[in-house]
Amino acid sequence: MAIIKYYGEEIDAIEKKKNVSFFGYINPMGKLIDYTTLIGEQTHCTTKNPASMLFLDFVSYVLKGYNLERYKNGEDWQQAIYARNIVPELGGVLLRGYRHTFPYLNRFSYEEFLNELDCRYNYWAEKMALYDDLDDVPVYDMLQWDLIRFFKEAYESGDFFQSIGTVIQLECFDDYIKEHAREIEAKKDSYMCDSRYFYNEYQKACLMPYLKEILVSYLGYDAINKKLRTIVTSCDNPLRFYNYFKREWVIDYVSRRSLNVDAKKIPQVQKKK
């Protein structure tokens, strides 16, 4: 594996422009990716870090603490939500992809979710086929292609959590609001936002570290933090970071992981009776 370039000048330029400490990745091909803006910044013509939204569209997680009895005997759309979200063996509400509002969780079936994943995968496969040399692919495009391939393989086993070997769990809306009531009340006026805004931000803050875990542990990206002068990697070849060792950066090694694609297939949701 080739020794990667020292990106000191590029990182300094990004920090000067954004006036924040740099965080990002070095992809397996040795190219720098600015991820200082975690979710993305939208303008009329550009979107920064679009891989964040792709990740949030397809990551599954469980909300603990909800009582869905009120949906069980409600209107048809409420019963559909009840049937598609209860996961008895996980003791919570399953979400397939981040959603802004609770009443619209998993309105579509698991099959439709997989169809959407297939459509997104096919879009990126066709886009990648246009390049004769993967070295010419823009870094954010390659990042999204790596992620969509990861999700496609992870869901092929029939159970996302078994594929990645962990269950991602978050607090439900009611529990979060109760626990943080004073903090939210103090900020609501200055932020001009309601409680739902703060809960949405909480969800994203909890989910985004899993993007880092997937990129580093499964996909071979190196996470680089300028403030801490640290690189987190699953690469076991120290020569890759020779230019950083010379400048006294800390290299933290984590285990390389593989998807458990042979995981036993179990239903993701309780069937509607």
DSSP state letters, 235-256? ---GGGGHHHHTTT-EEEE---
Whole-number pLDDT of residue 172: 83
* Residue 31: alpha-carbon gap to chain centroid: 20
Can you tell me which residue has the tokens 């803006």? 37
Order of strands, sheet of 230-233, starting from the edge strand that comes earlier in the sequence: 32-34, 23-26, 222-225, 230-233, 250-253
* Nearest by Cα to 60 from 180, 169, 157, 217: 169
Torsion of CA 93, 96, 97, 100, to 10 degrees: -40
Whole-number pLDDT of residue 63: 83
> For 253, what's the count of Cα atoms within 13 Å in the CB-facing half-sphere?
8
Q: Give the whole-number percent of the chain exceeding pLDDT 90.
A: 49
d(CA 222, CA 253): 10
User: If you count DSSP H runs as helices and E runs as strands, how many of each does the chain have, helices first?
Assistant: 11, 9
**Between 25 and 39, the higher pLDDT residue:** 25
Q: Give the whole-number percent of the chain exceeding pLDDT 70.
A: 81
pLDDT, mean of residues 60-77: 75
- Are residues 28 and 149 in contact, defined by beta-carbon separation less than 8 angstroms? no
d(CA 110, CA 121): 16
Is pTM beyond 0.75? Reply is yes
Instruction: Encode pLDDT of 226-273 as tens digits.
Output: 999 999 999 988 899 999 999 999 999 999 999 886 644 433 333 333
Using pLDDT thresholds of 50, 70 and 90, give the confidence band for residue 107: low
d(CA 49, CA 181): 32
d(CA 20, CA 7): 16
